[in-house]
Amino acid sequence: MESRPEHEVKAWVSGFGVAVPRGATAAGPHGVREVAEGLTPPLVVKAYGPGLVHKSDAGAVRLGLADRAAAAGAAGEILDVLARHGVTPDGFLVEEQAAPGVEVIVGAVRDPAFGPLLLAGLGGIWTEVLDDTALRLCPITEADAHAMLGELRGKALLEASRGRPPVDRDALVKVLLAVGGVGGIVETLGDELEEFELNPVICGASGATAVDARLIGRAESPPGRGEEAAEAGRPRPATALRGDFDRLFAPRGVAVVGASTRGPNFGNMFLGFYRAAAFTGTLVAVHPTAREIDGVPCVPSMGDLPEQVDYAMVAVPAKHCAQVVRQAAGIPYVQVMSGGFGEMGHPELERELLAAAREAGVRLLGPNCMGVYSPAGGQTFIGGEQGRPGRVSVVSQSGGMAGEVIKVGERRGLTFAKVATVGNSADVTPAELLRYLSGDPGTSTVGLYLEDPRDGRGLFEVLRETAKPVVALIGGRSGQGRRAAASHTGGMVSDDRVWAALAAQTGLCLVTSQDDLIGVLDFFDLHVRRPVHGDAGVLVVGPSGGASVLAADAFDAAGL
């Protein structure tokens, strides 16, 4: 972690078109007097150097200095104050004082799952107190920048008020784009970004000036040389993932590993599911000694499976899973139902499992999930007769949740195309499946249940590109929910506000209950092929006066 002197960061950001005050640096009060010569008062003097992160807290910022002499005097006073705290500054920055205006923070941070985020807020030094910020995933568009400003609770401060003209919103939007837009500061920093902050940007009636700039980077290289590092470290774009999952949802043959001859376990349960659903392909169990289990023929090992087996369901204890997967070469998809990996404090078993999948050249679903459901393709994990094939698809990090959505949904008349449960998503991620489903002619709409999507960046990219309506129920959005999610899918769940930002940027529909997930999927499936033209006006046609009044209230609450 490395923090660079303010003037260096300012010089660098000005190269991106961000206005900064004119200024110069000097080693001490005498030099300050000299370099202030070319600057127009009022002047500002600040000290810089190690330990001077929050300069005003340290007494290292002096404003409103009328001339060179005052600037030199202020530098001397700062030296005294800092000396009392045992701090010796590296030097001083003297700069012109920007005209008063509305102070805005523009910053960037890195989310573990979603990568760089852009933050804009009101308040300058009061930002933390006001806690009024808007968030977006980088890169942002111009429309995103405008939407961010429109989201602020204190947005009225940007408008004209009490004889004060409105702030130059276009200039502020330009700063947001210079930081978080395509080819902007965040993108240029790439993996080097840890924290970047312009706090404040002073916004006046004409122009916006970044009067403070802070960059905390990860690498040793100065910002100018960031490009190469950025290229190498940039998250792999989701377009590199060319998953074809046709056979996952319509396997010619299915193998179940882990069924027992001595009584029902999860493996036996899956054999039962396929039999109840009248699976028409090849169904085989893998068992070291048995000839058949529950009427299903057995082979002694993965290597003995018939060629048409496209999918293996593994339900053996966690510590044996990697061994099974290692022998699965030739089977395109292996689903590990078993839990006991990252979510139970065994990330090393999960890493071993993933390595085994890579070694065998198979795609791994899970671990810690249920299975795949596709009535048209014979896949099931529900029990009972196969449902009617339809066009609704679902990707879920919870097997139980997916099962509920299918059962309750089918009772409500929903029909499903392709449902995949991915649990911890060690290999195949929700983003990769969403990309596949987004190009799947048999899918009209996609529902997601997610906790830690693992590849948040990929998810953002697919959501931005897809033309299909997507609805998501996110688990772990509260503090307690996050803790629960950690032990469920073993994930680091992102700040709730990142999901809201993702939805605002991509049109993803966020819901907060299983019921709404089903309801919205039903609506999308029915109406996706009926594009609506016109404005945001709503025509309510109700069966009764009361129902119409309630509908009007609901639309009002939704801001329509």
* Binding region for ligand ADP (CB under 6 A): 21, 44, 46, 54-56, 61, 63, 95, 97-98, 103, 124-125, 199-200, 202, 211-212
For ligand ADP, give the closer residue by CB, 3 or 514: 3
Are 253 and 282 in contact, with CB atoms under 8 Å apart?
yes
Least spacing, CB of residue 58 vs ligand ADP, in Å: 8
Binding segment toward Mg ion, per CB under 5 A, in 180-188, 191-199, 479-487, 518-526: 191-199
Residues 6+ apart with CB under 8 A from 326: 356, 359, 360
For ligand ADP, give the closer residue by CB, 63 or 69: 63
For 109, 141, 174, 257, 426, the CA distances from 188, given in Å and listed in that order, are 14, 16, 16, 48, 29
**Interface mask toward Mg ion for 258-297; x: CB under 5 A:** ----------------------------------------
For ligand ADP, give the closer residue by CB, 101 or 409: 101
By a kind-dependent CB cut-off of 5 to 8 A, residue 211 interacts, out of ligand ADP, Mg ion, none, with ligand ADP
For ligand ADP, give the closer residue by CB, 210 or 502: 210
Least spacing, CB of residue 163 vs ligand ADP, in Å: 21
For ligand ADP, give the closer residue by CB, 43 or 405: 43
Residues 6+ apart with CB under 8 A from 473: 401, 447, 448, 449, 450, 510, 511, 512, 513, 514, 516, 517
For ligand ADP, give the closer residue by CB, 21 or 223: 21
Which spans in 39-90 are helix H? Answer: 68-84
Least spacing, CB of residue 206 vs ligand ADP, in Å: 16
Which of 322, 247, 331, 338 lies closest to 284, judged by CA?
331
By a kind-dependent CB cut-off of 5 to 8 A, residue 61 interacts, out of Mg ion, ligand ADP, none, with ligand ADP
Are 268 and 294 in contact, with CB atoms under 8 Å apart?
yes
Least spacing, CB of residue 194 vs Mg ion, in Å: 17
Least spacing, CB of residue 381 vs ligand ADP, in Å: 55
The single residue listed with the structure tokens 């000290």 is 47
Long-range contacts of the stretch 145-149 (C-beta < 8 A, 24+): 145/120, 145/173, 145/176, 145/177, 145/180, 145/181, 146/173, 147/504, 148/118, 148/120, 148/176, 149/120, 149/173
By a kind-dependent CB cut-off of 5 to 8 A, residue 471 interacts, out of Mg ion, ligand ADP, none, with none
Tokens matching residue 4: 């660079």
Least spacing, CB of residue 334 vs ligand ADP, in Å: 53
**Interface mask toward Mg ion for 144-183; x: CB under 5 A:** ----------------------------------------
Q: Cα dihedral sign for 207, 208, 212, 215?
A: negative
Query: What is the footprint of Mg ion within residues 194-233 (CB under 5 A)?
Result: 199, 212
**Cα–Cα dist 493/486, whole Å:** 8
For ligand ADP, give the closer residue by CB, 212 or 461: 212
Mark residue 207 as left, alpha or beta (left: phi above 0; alpha: psi -120 to 50; beta: remaining).
left
Contact flag: residue 461 with Mg ion (CB under 5 A) = no
Q: How many residues belong to the site for Mg ion (CB under 5 A)?
A: 2
Residues 6+ apart with CB under 8 A from 262: none
Tokens matching residue 127: 């930002």
Q: Cα dihedral sign for 30, 33, 37, 39?
A: positive
Least spacing, CB of residue 198 vs Mg ion, in Å: 8
By a kind-dependent CB cut-off of 5 to 8 A, residue 124 interacts, out of ligand ADP, Mg ion, none, with ligand ADP
For ligand ADP, give the closer residue by CB, 200 or 399: 200
Residues 6+ apart with CB under 8 A from 76: 29
For ligand ADP, give the closer residue by CB, 202 or 364: 202
Give the interface with Mg ion as residue ranges (CB under 5 A). Answer: 199, 212
